Structure 1
Amino acid sequence: MSRSSGNSPETPATRFLREHRIAFSSHPYAYEEHGGTRVSARELGVDEHAVIKTLVMEDEGRHPLIILMHGDRKVSTKELARQAGHKQVSPCDPAVAQRHTGYLVGGTSPFGTRKALPVFVEASILELPLIYINGGRRGFLVGINPHDIVPTLKARPVQVAIE
C-alpha cells in the first residue's frame, strides 16, 4: 500500500506514520458535523465495520486512554474497565480529549497524539485485511494494515464491542 500523493494533508498522524515507516493510503472526504463513521464509510464507499473510531476515555482517576472500535459497534465501558484493570471507564469531555490528544473531536487519530496514551484495540479489528482510521483531521482517513497498530502503539487487544 503506498501513500497517495496530492490531496494528503500533513498532520501529526501522517508524520508519525511516515516516521514509523507504516504504509498508508490517504482518503479525504466531505466531512459532515455529527456524521461519524456512517458518513465517512458512505463517502469512501467502504463497509462501516472497517472504518475505525478513535475514542478517548478516562478511568476513575481521570487518566486518559484510547479505545479503537469498529464504526458500526459501541464500546462496553464496563467490560473495557474490567479488561483494562480499572474500576470504571467513561468517555472524556471533548475539550479534555482535545487537550490530551491535540486533535479536535471528529479528527482524533491514535497516531501522533500530544502525549503517549494507553491504547486498547477491539481484537476483531486485527482480523480485517485493511482498516480506515482518522488521519488527524476532520474529513481525512488513512488506510492501513491493522497489524501495524499493536507494535507501533503498544496497543492491547480487548473484546469490548457491542452491536
Structure 2
Amino acid sequence: MKKTNAMRILDNLNIKYEASEYDDDGEHKLEHGAAAMTAAKLGVAPEQVFKTIVFRSEAKEVLVFCQSAVSEINLKKARTAAGVKEVTPVKEQELLALTGYIRGGCSPLGMKKQYRTFIDETALLQEVICVSAGVRGTQLKIKPEDLIKAVNATVCDLVLEK
C-alpha cells in the first residue's frame, strides 16, 4: 500500500492507525448509501465511518468538519462552533485546489493548509473511527482522540436532529 500524506503525518506524530483498502465504486453520495457500503467493506459499524466536509465562511475562511457519515450536519451548530455567520459548502471543483484532495478522498489530515477543524462529539463514543486516508478506496482506522490531537480539532455537537 502506498503511503499517503495523511499516513506520513500520523507516522511522524507516532500515532497508531490501521490503513484499509477497499474497492471504490466511485459512489460517494451519502443518499445512495455510501457510508453503509464503506462500513460493510471495512467491517465496521456505519456510525464509525466519518466524512470530511469542507465549508467556507462569509469571510472566505475555509473550515473543515468531520462527522459520522450516517448523520447530517446541522449548519446552525457548525456556524456556532466556528463562530461565523454563514457556512457554505466548497464546490467540488474547488476542493482539490484548497485541500489537495478530491471528493471521496478528502482527509482531515494533510490538507494544503492547516484549516480550523471541528469533529462531532459522537466520535468519542467509538473506540475507533474511519476517515479517508487522502485517496479514494483507502480509509484510516484511528482512535478519535488521536485524530483530534493530530488535526488540533475542536470537538462539538454537529448532528442535525431528526
Q: Structure 1 length normalisation: TM-score?
A: 0.90
Compute the RMSD of aligned alpha carbons: 1.2
Q: What corresponds to 1:88 in structure 2? A: 86
Aligned-residue sequence identity (percent) comes to 26
Which amino acid in 2 is paired with 1:94?
A: E
**Contact 1:32/1:39 (8 A) holds in 2:** no
Once residues 149 and 8 of structure 2 are traced to their aligned partners in structure 1, the CA distance between those partners, rounded to angstroms, is 17
Structure 2, unmatched stretches of 5+, are 29-33
Q: Secondary structure of 2:127's partner?
A: coil
Q: Secondary structure of 1:137's partner?
A: coil
Tell me whether 1:154 sits opposite 2:152 in the alignment. Answer: yes
Q: What corresponds to 1:74 in structure 2? A: 72
Pairwise CA distance, 1:45: 2.3
Which amino acid in 2 is paired with 1:62?
A: K
Q: What corresponds to 1:44 in structure 2? A: 42
Q: Secondary structure of 1:111's partner?
A: coil
Count of residues paired in the alignment = 156
Which amino acid in 1 is paired with 2:21?
A: P
Structure 1, unmatched stretches of 5+, are 1-7
Q: What corresponds to 2:100 in structure 1? A: 102
Task: Kindly report structure 1 stretches of 4+ aligned residues shifted beyond 6 Å.
Answer: none
Once residues 6 and 51 of structure 2 are traced to their aligned partners in structure 1, the CA distance between those partners, rounded to angstroms, is 15
Once residues 151 and 133 of structure 1 are traced to their aligned partners in structure 2, the CA distance between those partners, rounded to angstroms, is 14
Q: 53, 57, 60: which one pairs with 1:59?
A: 57
Q: 17, 29, 32: which one pairs with 2:25?
A: 32
Which amino acid in 1 is paired with 2:110?
A: G
Q: What corresponds to 1:124 in structure 2? A: 122
Q: Deviations over 1:96-142 (max 9, x none)?
A: 22211101110001111111111000011122111111111001001
Q: Deviations over 1:75-115 (max 9, x none)?
A: 01122102210001121101222211101110001111111
Once residues 152 and 59 of structure 1 are traced to their aligned partners in structure 2, the CA distance between those partners, rounded to angstroms, is 23
Higher strand content, 1 or 2: 1
Q: 130, 133, 143: which one pairs with 2:131?
A: 133
